[in-house]
Amino acid sequence: MIEVIDAQSCTSCDICVNVCPTNVFDKTDGIPVIARQGDCQTCFLCELYCPEDALFVSPFAEVAQHVDLEMLRQNALLGSYRRAVGWTEETKHRREIDRSYLLFGH
Amino acid sequence: MTVQSTRAQRVSARAGSVEFDADVLVIGGGPAGTWAAISAAEQGARVVLADKGFCGTSGATAAAGTGVWYVDPEPALREAAMANREKLGGHLQDRRWMSRVLDRTYEQSNRLADWGYPYPVDDKGKSQRNSLQGPEYMRLMRKRTKQAGVTILDHSPALELLVDEKGAVAGASGLRRQKHDRWTVRARAVVVATGGCAFLSKTLGSNVLTGDGYLMAAEAGAEFSSMEFSNPYAISAAYGSVTKTLFFGWATFTYEDGSVVPGAASKGGRSAIARALTQGPVYARLDKADGEVQRQMRVSQPNFFLPFDRTGIDPFADRFPVTLRLEGTVRGTGGLRIVDDSCATTVAGLYAAGDAATRELICGGFTGGGSHNAAWAISSGTFAGQGAADHARHFGPARGRRLSSAGIVALRQRAGRPVKPADLAKAVQNEVFPYELNYFREAGRLGGALERLDTLWTEVSQADAATADDVLRARESASMLATARWMYRSGLARQESRGMHRRDDFPDQDDRQRHYITSGGLDEVWTATRPHAEAVYAEAAE
Ligand SMILES: Cc1cc2nc3c(=O)[nH]c(=O)nc-3n(C[C@H](O)[C@H](O)[C@H](O)COP(=O)(O)OP(=O)(O)OC[C@H]3O[C@@H](n4cnc5c(N)ncnc54)[C@H](O)[C@@H]3O)c2cc1C
Ligand code: SF4
Ligand code: SF4
């Protein structure tokens, strides 16, 4: 489930409010709030769309987890999914390295 | 080339609502809905697309990504592609449909390449087009939908259909949940592309998929087909949502004590996992993947690794607990019954595409890991979009049509207490999640579940209109309930095992039941049988 918005890096662009398919966030005058955490479907898509890597989705789908922002930063976990799919400037070559065709039919 | 169509027109409306006049309304903005919207717009139709979430991230494909049934148009390859799944699907497929879906999927995937989808190129320099990364694909589809001149309404779940004096479908209305108001679209034809129903099981990307389109369509009188094929369960880490099963083909499954679960496998041995899970925890380790395969896995499905990398588990070396999550009609094959090549349903003006429609024509009774669903979403979306645009064009002036709301459950004033959405959803889950009820079916157990579901329905049908805050959740849980009843009624009617439908009391396939099961109805759920296409042709030849 979505666990945290990093207030240090969030620019209040509200993209996450827009793209979350289950409408988990609410706009505010400042940074958005996680208003309905229980509705989160753990799809990780808000992370992909956040331009600042300010969000973290824990892989636990059913129970809330305590997360430590400092640890996430140190372990380079913020933005890790976005980098993996090639949606950052430095990793954009990854958009075309899908090797599924070698794995299908196993 | 994109044909720029005229846009749907916003018309004046009461305070607290927006209204549009369109030729075609598409409900749902996954692959099926976006292909439908683009295809209709390319025919010159004015199109509105309304999605519950955000068109581009919402639905099963956006979050998960899919293999695609993309086969080069060489006769031998096409023949093999059709033949090799017929047995799994219980011989309920229709060759004519398989071949038109293969054609259309091939064409449209090639258009994706033209539009800039970054397909990978293999060692021989060939572009490989049988896999789509979900976020990448659906971001592109949103862009193309907009460029086609379609008006997109995000965070705008449809609640009910509108019908005219003759009962033909003429639009829909719903909520704009971030604007706290309502929308109405008057249209000459409607495409339902709301996906399947995964019963809020948290299977990847699917909590927006609660069968809403089924309930709306049923309230307008539509029928279903193959709803008994609705019990696929997908493997994921026990704590996680990433139900991507391909890589579990390299796994060894073990009990708590470390001994191997006999017969357990992702393909062809999933029922052994389900049986073991009814006894206690089951663990997996992807220990059959060598270094090279591991590297290919990482770049092919980055989302598969999120639950592991974020918990410090090495899935190739460490054991981790697994579970099976119900995917209902998302990777099942049942859905709205289709009556012709344009994906028209049994109700005038109403078309169905993607998981909202039956996939029996190309999958029969089984879809798992076959890429057919993605091909179906692309093709049926295209067929339905064109069909709806055609229907709209021949419709003539819609002026003076008197429209009424077709929605009933949780929308009308009634004597009973309003639905409690969370409680109702839980009660339905209790009947559809358990492996002993749904994975392994049997007359007595199905009958018991149906009795409880019917009792719930009686309450729900007498429930008063839900409040503005609750109405979406109330409709969603009522849709889950209705879906469960069509599923189990159809499951009872099929007294054999075929495709994914397993009956403990009828463990074998029975040649005399090579037919389709149609279902429908709300207060009274009914089923009937329809012959398979080959039987129809045989009769005509006699
Ligand atoms: C984990 C996973 C892996 C999969 N892998 C494969 C694969 O490898 N190959 C394959 O072929 N298939 C696969 N599938 C199945 C495939 O994802 C679906 O068949 C496909 O997404 C169907 O497309 P669709 O457009 O019909 O539905 P979806 O993509 O689910 O989209 C439905 C849309 O309808 C919207 N909606 C729902 N209710 C309403 C409402 N009331 N009003 C407005 N909008 C609404 C939703 O928000 C959503 O955007 C997989 C599914 C899952 C869950
Ligand atoms: S998308 Fe990221 S930066 Fe923008 S508001 Fe959300 S958390 Fe902040
Ligand atoms: S993980 Fe998915 S459902 Fe959860 S907040 Fe992010 S986008 Fe929304």
* A12 pocket-lining for ligand 3 (C-beta < 6 Å): no
Q: What was the pLDDT predicted at B1?
A: 41
Q: Which residue of A has its CA nearest to B53?
A: A21
Residue B21: half-sphere exposure toward Cβ, Cα within 13 Å: 10
Nearest CA-CA partner of A46 in B485, B497, B57, B373: B57
Render the burial of B215-234: b for 16+ CB within 10 Å, e for the rest: bbbbbbbbbbbbbbbbbbbb
Does the C-beta of B52 come closer than 6 Å to ligand 1?
Answer: yes
Q: Which residues in A lie closer than 8 A to residue B300 (C-beta atoms)? A: 98-100, 103
Task: Inspect the interface and report whether the beta carbons of A21 and B57 lie closer than 8 Å.
Answer: yes
* Predicted confidence pLDDT, tens digits, chain B (542 residues): 444 457 998 998 888 899 999 999 999 999 999 999 999 999 999 999 999 999 999 999 999 999 999 999 999 999 999 998 899 999 999 999 999 999 999 999 999 999 999 999 999 999 999 999 999 999 999 999 999 999 999 999 999 999 999 999 999 999 999 999 999 999 999 999 999 999 999 999 999 999 999 999 999 999 999 999 999 999 999 999 999 999 999 999 999 999 999 999 999 899 999 999 999 999 999 999 999 999 999 999 999 999 999 999 999 999 999 999 999 999 999 999 999 999 999 999 999 999 999 999 999 999 866 699 999 999 999 999 999 999 999 987 777 889 999 999 999 999 999 999 999 999 999 999 999 999 999 999 999 999 999 999 999 999 999 999 999 999 999 999 999 999 999 999 999 999 999 999 999 999 999 999 999 999 999 999 999 987 766 655 55
What ipTM does the predicted assembly reach?
Answer: 0.98
Which ligand 2 atom is nearest residue A55's CA?
7
A63 at B interface, C-beta within 8 A: yes
B356 CA to centre of ligand 3 in angstroms = 23
Q: How far is the CA of A21 from the centre of ligand 2 (A)?
A: 15
The pLDDT of residue A106 is above 80: no
Q: Residue B360 in contact with residue B311, Cβ under 8 Å?
A: no
**What's residue B540's pLDDT?**
56
CA distance B519 to B469: 32
Q: Say what percent of chain A tops pLDDT 70.
A: 100
Residue B182's φ and ψ, nearest 5 degrees, are -125, 155
Query: 10 Å Cβ neighbour count for A22?
Result: 23
| CB A5 less than 6 A from any atom of ligand 2 | yes
A45 lines ligand 3 (CB under 6 A): yes
Identify which ligand lies nearest to the alpha carbon of B242: 1
Q: How far is B241 from chain A (nearest CA, A)?
A: 6
Please answer yes or no on whether B207 and A97 come within 8 Å at the CB atom.
no
Question: A47, A50, A98, A104: best mutation site toward chain B, by most B Cβ within 10 Å?
Answer: A98
Distance from Cα B480 to the centre of ligand 2, integer Å = 33
Give the integer Cα–Cα distance in Å for B18 and B171.
Answer: 13
Q: Mean of the pLDDT values across residues A48-63? A: 98
Backbone phi and psi for residue B435, each to the nearest 5 degrees, phi listed first: -60, -35
Residues of A within 8 A of B63 (CB-CB) are 21, 41, 43-45
8 Å CB contact of A21 and B58:
yes
Which residue of chain A has the CA closest to B133?
A98
Distance CA B307, CA B289 (A): 18
CA distance B423 to B421: 6
Choose among B241, B309, B371: nearest Cβ to A61.
B241
* Amino acid symbol at B334: G
Which pLDDT belongs to residue B4? 46
Mutate one of A36, A41, A82 to test the B interface: name it (highest B CB count within 10 A): A41
How far, in Å, is the centroid of ligand 1 from the Cα of B374? 9
Does A48 sit within 8 Å of B120, measured CB to CB? no
Whether residue A21 and residue B118 make contact (CB cut-off 8 A), yes or no, is no
Question: How many whole angstroms from B32 Cα to the centroid of ligand 1?
Answer: 8
- Contact of B117 with chain A, judged by CB distance below 8 Å, is answered with no
Q: Return residues 72-91 of A near B (CB < 8 Å).
A: 77, 80-81, 84-85, 87
DSSP type of residue B506: B
Question: Are A98 and B178 inside 8 Å of each other by CB?
Answer: no
Ligand 1 pocket, residue B371 CB under 6 Å: yes
Contact B288, B296 (CB under 8 A): no
Residue B292: what residue type?
E
Judged by its nearest atom, the ligand closest to the C-alpha of residue A24 is 3
Crossing angle for the helix pair B75-83 and B95-114, nearest 10 degrees? 120
Strand B151-153 to B47-50 pairing? parallel
Yes or no, beta carbons of B57 and A43 under 8 Å apart: yes
Q: Which ligand is nearest to the CA of A55?
A: 2
| Best residue for ligand 1 mutational test, from B139, B373, B380, B471 (most atoms within 8 Å of Cβ) | B373
Sign of the dihedral through C-alpha B254, B260, B266, B271: negative
Of A39, A45, A60, the CB nearest to B62: A45
Spatial separation of the C-alpha atoms in residues A12 and A51, rounded to whole Å = 11
Contacts of B296 in chain A (CB under 8 A): 99, 102-103
A24 in contact with ligand 2, CB cutoff 6 A: no
> What integer pLDDT is reported at residue B2 of this predicted model?
45
Rounded to an integer, what distance in angstroms lies between the CA atom of residue B291 and that of residue B484?
Answer: 43
Which ligand sits closest to the CA of A22?
3
Helices (H), B10-133: 31-42, 60-64, 75-83, 95-114
Gap from CA of B314 to ligand 2 centroid (Å)? 30
Hey, what are B183's tokens?
A: 């929308």
Atom number, ligand 2, closest to the C-alpha of residue A17: 6
Q: Which two tokens stand for residue B58?
A: 């919402």
Q: CB B523: neighbour CB atoms within 10 A?
A: 9
Helix (H, G, I), strand (E, B) or coil at B7: coil
From the CB of A4, is ligand 3 less than 6 Å away? no
Six-digit token string for B462: 């007498």
State whether the beta carbon of B61 lies less than 6 angstroms from ligand 1.
Answer: yes
The pLDDT, as a whole number, for residue B534 is: 78
